[in-house]
């Protein structure tokens, strides 16, 4: 009888230990995935440009993606860009409401069917949208810029 209770206690300790190890490995794996696929960009450095490049490649492969981009402004609050893609269409919303100096205090929404990175000149790389609703089919909209000297 005592022997059975001892076996049950040992089994319970082993099960609890295994559950702890599994939980630890699962949460570590999720954290690594979040770090690899960071969906919040605010530094405008090489890592952020690489993440945008990944968004472009995923879109061109017909895969969806989501990003939030917080871009600093020169003299006041940030602009917040929400980017949602289903692999066929990109919904890019620029929220100007936190930028006190901007005359457009609302949100500007772009719904587009093409995105690319464009090497503008020696100083900038632009994120460009095209095939956007309410714009000419071939019009390239430079929505975001990266300074090459900060990469």
Query: Could you report the per-residue pLDDT of 53-93, keeping only the tens digit for each?
Result: 999 999 999 999 999 999 877 667 788 999 999 999 999 99
Q: What confidence category does residue 37 fall into, taking pLDDT thresholds of 50, 70 and 90?
A: low
Query: Could you report the per-residue pLDDT of 104-132, keeping only the tens digit for each?
Result: 678 999 999 999 999 999 999 999 999 99
What are the two backbone dihedrals, phi and then psi, of residue 79, each rounded to the nearest 5 degrees? -100, 135
Entry pTM: 0.71
Instruction: Reply yes or no on whether the pLDDT at 2 is more than 70.
Output: no
Q: Where are the domains of the chain?
A: 1-36, 39-150
Question: Is the pLDDT higher at 103 or at 91?
Answer: 91
* Separation between Cα atoms, residue 49 and residue 71, nearest integer Å: 13
């Amino acid at each position: 009888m005592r022997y059975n209770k001892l076996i049950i206690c040992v089994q319970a300790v082993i099960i609890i230990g295994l559950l702890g190890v599994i939980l630890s490995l699962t949460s570590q794996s999720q954290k690594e995935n979040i770090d690899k696929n960071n969906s919040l960009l605010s530094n405008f450095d090489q890592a952020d440009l690489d993440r945008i490049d990944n968004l472009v490649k995923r879109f061109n492969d017909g895969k969806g993606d989501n990003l939030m981009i917080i871009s600093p402004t020169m003299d006041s609050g940030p602009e917040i860009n929400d980017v949602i893609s289903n692999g066929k269409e990109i919904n890019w919303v620029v929220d100007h409401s936190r930028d006190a100096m901007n005359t457009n205090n609302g949100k500007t929404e772009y719904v587009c069917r093409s995105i690319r990175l464009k090497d503008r000149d020696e100083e900038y790389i632009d994120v460009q949208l095209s095939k956007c609703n309410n714009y000419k089919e071939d019009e390239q909209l430079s929505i975001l810029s990266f300074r090459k000297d900060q990469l």
